[in-house]
Structure 1
Amino acid sequence: MNSKESLNAMEVAELLNITKNTVYELVKRGELPGYKVGKKLRIDKADVNQYIESQKTGYNNKAVRRVKEIVQVKSENVISSSKDIIIAGQDQILDILSEYIKANISDIRVLRNNVGSYTNLYDLYNDRISLCSSHLWDGDSNTYNYEYVRRLLPGISCVLINLAYRMQGFYVAKGNPHNIKTWEDLINKNVSIINREKGSGTRILLDEKLRANNISSSNIKGYDIERNSHLSVASSIARGEGDVGMGIEKIALQVKGIDFIPIQEERYDLVIKKEDLNLDVYKTIVDIIESKEFKEEIDGLSGYDLRDIGKIIAYT
């Protein structure tokens, strides 16, 4: 292979406007193919370009692979074995939780499904996943998660266990050249947005805020341009593909060339069916979340408020 077609981690970081550590994280999570030459990580430039294009179109190879994995352990769209645990949600906290479960329960196969909160709850209702995360804001009650769990899982009692609080806000170019601070600033004709996909908690927050402020999405330039992760939105803003996007503060710390404008603190919860709490595997999951070791590892990532981690927020 021509050496010009292969990049090191720093070169990829510069191309994507992210930190070097974030590149390693993308490779570790399988979102960006990489390989070792000696002890050095190398990434093909073609794969970097494909990653960028996949984020633009909302098509995510990793998500497709995960769906295929889930299909393999399902029969007629239900989980086929009590030995399978499918955890749905997009935050790194869930990746770490998965590793803890594997370390504590040797005979359990843990799979991850990287999709948005609204879809998560729908899949939980249909027994397609085992448990999921949620950060869905309801504009009428000004609360997180409870109202959506009640509506999307009718007749099913669930427990909401807090994982963290995160700050949602606007990703803007360095220096915030368009002075974007409020929802009304999104209708500026000189401002173009990079949106999240339907079903994500961030997209629902935006749409609910637009409704509450009587703002029509048709007046927002770029509203239909979607990306399928906080990172891809932030990177798009850093590359100048849009002027503003929404996401969590943690990701803003990993992407170069952008500022973060805080808008609203959100509650990030784990949703488990109440009847499942009687099973040993779910008891172990709760014990992990409540453990000092798990809390310390999450706390070391920065960007999370763990004041209620492990706390039962509500029963539905």
Structure 2
Amino acid sequence: MNKFYTAQEVADKLKIKKTTVYELIKRGELSSSKIGKQLRVSENQLKQYLDSATQPASVQTQDYQPESSLLKRDYLIHSSGLIISGQSSPALDLLLNQLPAQEGSLPVLQSHMNTYNGLYSLYFEKVHIACATASFSDIQSLVPGIPLAALTFYSYEIGLYIKKGNPRNIQGFPDLQRADIIFANREKGSSRRVYLDRQLSKLKISPESISGYRNELVSDFSTAAAVAGGQADIALGEAYAARTFTDLDFLPLGTETMYLVMDASHFSEPGFRAVADTISSEAFRKALALQTGYDTSHTGELNNF
């Protein structure tokens, strides 16, 4: 018989917070069922989630297709709506929740894409605004020939997820080559994957020497869950995701910045201005900093290039 668990029981099994269980369900990474008015996760659904941590990229990508609403997307791109690309995050969720109250705002559709896929879509005019963690030179190389405006969204710590107490004595990237270490990687095109591959290149570490390098997951919450659940020993991601798992420690490596990138010629148009006005407001910056711990001291600043 298929057993059903409450959100708290799932949290206890995965050694995470109950709010993280709801976050995983909201992101579509953990399936759930409604029994009466109560949300429950079946034993099979939980097993599918745990198994996904070790599936190869081809399987992950096939199941993760948030771009299925092509007709709706094409309707918005040719009408009065905005399409913002970006993987689900507390910052983007907060922006989308507050935008409708801003004067001049337009209907918004979120296109769930990582940094590089979002920038390519911006270049091919499939989205209006792309969330991107990348240097200005990288952004320009992916969106050539277009004058760009980049609003600073927030800055955050990036580092390594490891088990509480660091039982494997992991110190940094060189440890990825150890035979007793399994890595939980992110998908190609994500800023985490780009950061990792550049560090490996600097250190002259071959990806083929890393167990788990080819097993790709589609969010920091997924890689953090893989480490917390014992499917991996280490992963790369932002500090916010690590803080939601009680069984993880975080080894900081540096700071990254998320930008909202758009065609500069559209910046003065009402819908785009509404986005800029929302994130530059004091209320938004305070709410984002309190909810996530992100650095919002430069949130809303405009960079043209």
Superposition TM-score, scaled by structure 2 size: 0.90
Deviation at 1:298, TM superposition (A): 0.7
In 2, distance between residues paired with 1:61 and 1:215?
A: 29
Q: Judge which range, 225-234 or 211-220, deviates more.
A: 211-220
In 2, distance between residues paired with 1:89 and 1:221?
A: 29
Where 2:184 maps in the other structure, the secondary structure is strand
In 1, distance between residues paired with 2:78 and 2:47?
A: 38
In 1, distance between residues paired with 2:49 and 2:107?
A: 28
Number of residue pairs the alignment of both structures matches: 301
- Judged with a 3 Å threshold, the aligned counterparts in structure 2 of structure 1 residues 110 and 50 are, in CA distance, closer, same or farther, namely farther
- Judged with a 3 Å threshold, the aligned counterparts in structure 2 of structure 1 residues 182 and 32 are, in CA distance, closer, same or farther, namely closer
2:148 aligned residue (154, 158, 164): 158
Deviation at 1:286, TM superposition (A): 0.3
Alignment partner, residue 41 of structure 2: 43
Residue 207 in structure 1 maps to residue 204 in structure 2: no
Alignment partner, residue 11 of structure 2: 13
Q: Is the 8 A contact 1:83 1:107 kept in 2?
A: no
Alignment partner, residue 275 of structure 2: 285
Where 1:115 maps in the other structure, the secondary structure is coil
| Correspondence 1:179-190 to 2 at 5 A | 179-190=169-180
2:78 aligned residue (67, 76, 81): 81
- Judged with a 3 Å threshold, the aligned counterparts in structure 2 of structure 1 residues 31 and 187 are, in CA distance, closer, same or farther, namely closer
In 2, distance between residues paired with 1:32 and 1:105?
A: 36
Q: Is the 8 A contact 1:54 1:60 kept in 2?
A: no
Structure with the larger RCO, 1 or 2 (CA within 8 Å, 6+ apart): 2
In 2, distance between residues paired with 1:214 and 1:43?
A: 44
**Deviation per residue, 1:254-309 (Å, 9 max, x gap):** 11322111111111111111011121010111000111221122112133111111
Where 2:93 maps in the other structure, the secondary structure is helix
In 2, distance between residues paired with 1:116 and 1:283?
A: 23
- Judged with a 3 Å threshold, the aligned counterparts in structure 2 of structure 1 residues 31 and 106 are, in CA distance, closer, same or farther, namely farther
- Unpaired stretches in structure 2, ≥5 consecutive residues: none
Deviation at 1:37, TM superposition (A): 5.1
| Correspondence 1:1-316 to 2 at 5 A | 5-34=3-32, 40-57=38-55, 58=57, 59=60, 63-64=64-65, 66-69=66-69, 71-75=70-74, 80-90=77-87, 91-104=89-102, 108-136=106-134, 145-312=135-302, 314-316=303-305
**Identity over aligned pairs, percent:** 31
Please tell me the root mean square deviation across aligned C-alpha atoms, in Å: 2.3
- Judged with a 3 Å threshold, the aligned counterparts in structure 2 of structure 1 residues 41 and 52 are, in CA distance, closer, same or farther, namely same
In 2, distance between residues paired with 1:183 and 1:51?
A: 27
Q: Is the 8 A contact 1:135 1:267 kept in 2?
A: yes
Deviation at 1:250, TM superposition (A): 0.6
**Deviation per residue, 1:155-190 (Å, 9 max, x gap):** 011111111111111111121122222222222222
Where 1:73 maps in the other structure, the secondary structure is helix
Deviation at 1:48, TM superposition (A): 2.7
In 2, distance between residues paired with 1:247 and 1:104?
A: 32
Q: Is the 8 A contact 2:157 2:238 kept in 1?
A: yes
Q: Is the 8 A contact 2:77 2:83 kept in 1?
A: no
Where 1:272 maps in the other structure, the secondary structure is strand
Alignment partner, residue 141 of structure 1: none
Where 1:215 maps in the other structure, the secondary structure is coil
In 2, distance between residues paired with 1:106 and 1:280?
A: 5
Deviation at 1:103, TM superposition (A): 3.5
Q: Which amino acid aligns with 2:304?
A: Y
Q: Which amino acid aligns with 1:133?
A: C
Where 1:259 maps in the other structure, the secondary structure is strand
- Judged with a 3 Å threshold, the aligned counterparts in structure 2 of structure 1 residues 293 and 73 are, in CA distance, closer, same or farther, namely same
